[in-house]
Amino acid sequence: MEHNRIVPNDTPGIDIPEQNEMTSRVKILNTASGLGFNINNIIGAAIFMAPSSVWRLVQSPGATLIFWLVGGTRFPSGSGEQKYLEETFIKWPKFGHIFTFVMVIIILPGGIIADVHVSATYFLYTIQGNDGNQNEYFGKDFIELRFLAVAILFIVTFYHMCSNQLAIKINQIFAIFKFFALLIISIIGLITLREARFKDHWKGIFNNTLSNDTYQRSALEQIGSYGNAMLKVIFSYNGWNNLNYSTEELNSPERRMKYLLMIAAFITVVDPNDAINSKEIIAIHFGRTLFGEPGKRFISFLISVSAFGSVGAMVFMGSRIITYSAQTKFIPKVSSKLYKWNKKVDTPSNALAAQFIYCTILILIFPDGKSLFTFFSNMSSYITLVFYGVSAICLFVLRKKQKEADYRNFKAPLIAVVISFLCIVCLIIAPFFPLSYSLYDSTIYPHYLPFVISWIATLIGVVIWFFRAHN
């Protein structure tokens, strides 16, 4: 297996491998192992963390269920947003690499940081029974949690550096564990429906759950709440899209499953007042309601393990995206270092190291403790949604430009593309609307800051593309 084939390029001092080097490598994933990575992506921290926030934002369990149903039928990305951009803007060389840049800087790091923080938080929760005072900047709990998060990320990065096969086997173990855990939770939820006290939770599920907060939301705050709720659902489902970016390693990706049974289990078991008024997430209430303190500790452990497995899958994909981006010379100065693979173990060690350092810096410097998951997951899912909208525009343009093209492999009815685009535009705008103060009274930053940072990162990507394309 060769990794040193060099071709001439127009960037002084940088030697870049042939464009087909990645595709010429031996495939290391098959259907089973690829499905394992997909399961770890889709069953991460968000399925446990997001239902609580979504319920509080939309105010009723029925609306929560609808949001998860709608979020699961998102606009399909097919072969990836970058491909749509390149095919649409064919006269602008490497324009699609703007998306790759955003993936490397915002989308995947945001997901990795959010999930590694949850893994660390609920590992400590399993041991201590609480997550401490995370908001005391560089206090004992703050330092303990951040360094545990960095340690978890280091462990994941290290075994990915050591061996692809080791990473795949570990990933498979986590995938199997999480699949059966999710199945058991769903079955428990269905079984408990036989009890009268739990059946009552389904009565009037579209009525707003009474909140301890008597503050009445304005119309603008309601729009902002719905927009933020959908972002959290999209982040939970985003694992289905992420596997597209490791298809260079995969023979045949699998299709997806739904989360609705698990959300239904939470609605069945958890008291609505606890769900909307408690500072703890619904999943913790689920475990405590059924099994008391041991149930709470077990769910905490399950959340930690689930997030750990998801981090592993994203670290794997993120390193491949960095390598591809470096291979195409889109990362200035350091491209010659980042595309190289370790010859002995066939892993992208430099890309993995760079990814670890970047994520570690963000983990350690972010000042707000308990909102870290919300901040980075919102930042990741928001800009992902922006590129879904761009993809919808690209599909519309491609249908016009390529009227004679063969659409046997992918058909997108015009009305579906238009509706998807309009919905995405609404969701891109809605999160900027104000939120009820009670929903974000513990944060030290404006709720729209993650979205602003996402746009700034995109503009930086455009600037880099412009100068790379015109020099």
- Torsion over CA of 310, 315, 317 and 318, rounded to 10 degrees? 130
Strands 16-17 and 6-7: antiparallel
Q: Is residue 65 part of a domain?
A: yes
What is the phi-psi region of residue 411: left when phi exceeds 0, alpha when psi lies from -120 to 50, beta otherwise? beta
pLDDT, position 454: 93
Cβ contact 355:49 at 8 Å? no
Q: Is residue 19 part of a domain?
A: yes
| Mean of all residue pLDDT scores within the chain | 78
Q: Is residue 77 part of a domain?
A: yes
pLDDT, position 17: 44
d(CA 309, CA 323): 22
Q: Is residue 269 part of a domain?
A: yes
Q: Which residues of the chain have pLDDT under 50?
A: 1-20, 23, 74-79, 247-256, 408, 441
Q: Is residue 106 part of a domain?
A: yes
pLDDT, position 267: 86
Q: Is residue 354 part of a domain?
A: yes
Q: Is residue 1 part of a domain?
A: no
pLDDT, position 458: 93
pLDDT, position 117: 93
Task: Please report the DSSP string for 70-87 in residue order.
Answer: HHTTPPP-TT-HHHHHHH
pLDDT, position 2: 38
Query: pTM (2 decimals)?
Result: 0.82
d(CA 275, CA 168): 37
DSSP-derived letter for residue 342 is: B
User: What is the number of structural domains in the chain?
Assistant: 1
pLDDT, position 250: 44
pLDDT 10s digits, 229-288 = 888 888 877 655 555 555 444 444 344 455 777 888 888 888 888 888 777 888 888 888
pLDDT, position 373: 87
* Alpha carbon distance, N-terminus to C-terminus of the chain: 33
Please list, residue by residue across 286-305, b when 16 or more beta carbons sit within 10 angstroms of its beta carbon and e when fewer do.
Answer: bbbbbeeeebbbebbbbbbb
**Residue 16, beta-bridge partner list:** 7
pLDDT, position 291: 85
Q: How far is CA 240 from CA 75, 80, 183, in A?
A: 11, 11, 18
Cβ contact 455:105 at 8 Å? no
Q: Is residue 215 part of a domain?
A: yes
Q: Estimate the crossing angle of helix 108-128 against helix 349-365, to 10 degrees.
A: 60
Cβ contact 48:283 at 8 Å? yes
pLDDT, position 10: 41
Q: In this structure, what CATH number is given to the domain that contains residue 274?
A: 1.20.1740.10
d(CA 245, CA 225): 31
pLDDT, position 406: 55
d(CA 218, CA 248): 48
Cβ contact 287:223 at 8 Å? no
Domain that holds residue 289: 6-469
Q: Find all residues with CB under 8 Å of 209, minimum gap 6, and list them.
A: 55, 59, 60, 61, 272, 273, 275, 276
Q: Find all residues with CB under 8 Å of 131, minimum gap 6, and list them.
A: 121, 122, 124, 125, 141, 145, 370
